[in-house]
Structures are given as structure tokens and as C-alpha cells.
């Protein structure tokens, strides 16, 4: 038997984060709301419940201030890559992430959340 928690508001994940000593800095308010909305929509698409598992979400997803920060974290100095693998524009970098993982764009900001891979 499993115990499931139904989320009824947009701030449940954020409230959990604010009260967490270990994960409180993983997402901004906007990021937490965007991730929760993404998972709500995914649950609807799958026609199956997604268990409220904030620790797993904090491990599986990372919020970045912008695409460039995400790309830099994954590739450091991209000039070390062969030229055909370099992604120099925001659009190229975003497209690369979208082709390789889940990307959640945070509304009204440059922030993105990516599923870690």
C-alpha cells in the first residue's frame, strides 16, 4: 500500500523547499512553481499520478539563471570542444538542451530548469 499526497496549490513544493535545511536553495519561487506546473501537466498527459517526492525533484532537476550558465556548467570552456560541437548562441545552446533532456523555461524570466543527465 502506498501513501500519496495530493497537491492542491501552486506553492506546496515552494513551501516544502523553504522549510528544508538541505534543499532550500535549489529553486527560486518562480522555478519551484514552474517545475510543479510541469509535473502537473506531465501527470495529466500520462493520465497517472506523480508522487510528491521533492527530494527526487531536487536531485533530478536543476535551475539555472539562464541558458548560458547551464551550458557553462556542463561544458566549462566550450572553446575546448571541436568547432562542430560548439554552441555559441543562446538559441543553439537551448536547442542542444531540448534535444538531450527535459527543459522547463521559467515564465517571464531567462531562467531554465533542466533534467539532469
Residue 1 lies in a domain: no
Domain membership flag for residue 78: yes
Residue 78 has pLDDT above 70, yes or no: no
Checking if the pLDDT of 10 tops 90, the result is no
Residue 9: pLDDT above 70? no
CA 93 to CA 41: how far, in whole Å? 25
Task: Let me know if residue 28 belongs to a domain.
Answer: yes
Task: Give a yes or no: residue 5 inside a domain.
Answer: no
The pLDDT of residue 49 is 86
- pLDDT-derived band of residue 5, with 50, 70 and 90 as boundaries? low
In a domain, 4, yes or no: no
**Cα angle, residue 104 at apex, residues 84 and 26 outer, rounded to 5°:** 105
Could you tell me the three cell numbers for 2?
A: 502506498
Contact 70, 77 (CB under 8 A): no
Establish if 7 belongs to a structural domain: no
pLDDT at 70 over 90: yes
Residue bearing cell 545552446: 93
**pLDDT value at 60 more than 90:** yes
Specify the pTM.
0.84
Which residue range forms the structural domain that includes residue 47?
A: 12-115
Cα(11)–Cα(28) distance, integer angstroms: 11
Q: State how many domains the chain has.
A: 1
Q: What residues contact residue 41 under an 8 Å CB cut-off, 6+ apart?
A: none
Question: Using one digit for the tens of pLDDT, what is the confidence trace for 16-43?
Answer: 999 999 999 999 999 999 999 999 999 9
pLDDT at 83: 72
Domain contains 54: yes
pLDDT averaged over every residue in the chain: 87
Amino acid at each position: 500500500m502506498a501513501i500519496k499526497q495530493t497537491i492542491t496549490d501552486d506553492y506546496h513544493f515552494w513551501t516544502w523547499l523553504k522549510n528544508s535545511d538541505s534543499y532550500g536553495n535549489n529553486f527560486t519561487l518562480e522555478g519551484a512553481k514552474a517545475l510543479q506546473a510541469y509535473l502537473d501537466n506531465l501527470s495529466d498527459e500520462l493520465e497517472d499520478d506523480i508522487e510528491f517526492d521533492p527530494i527526487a525533484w531536487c536531485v533530478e532537476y536543476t535551475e539555472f539563471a539562464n541558458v548560458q550558465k547551464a551550458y557553462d556548467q556542463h561544458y566549462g570552456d566550450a572553446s575546448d570542444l571541436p568547432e562542430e560541437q560548439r554552441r555559441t548562441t543562446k538559441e543553439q545552446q537551448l536547442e542542444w538542451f531540448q534535444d538531450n533532456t527535459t527543459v522547463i523555461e521559467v515564465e517571464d524570466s531567462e531562467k531554465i530548469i533542466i533534467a539532469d543527465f
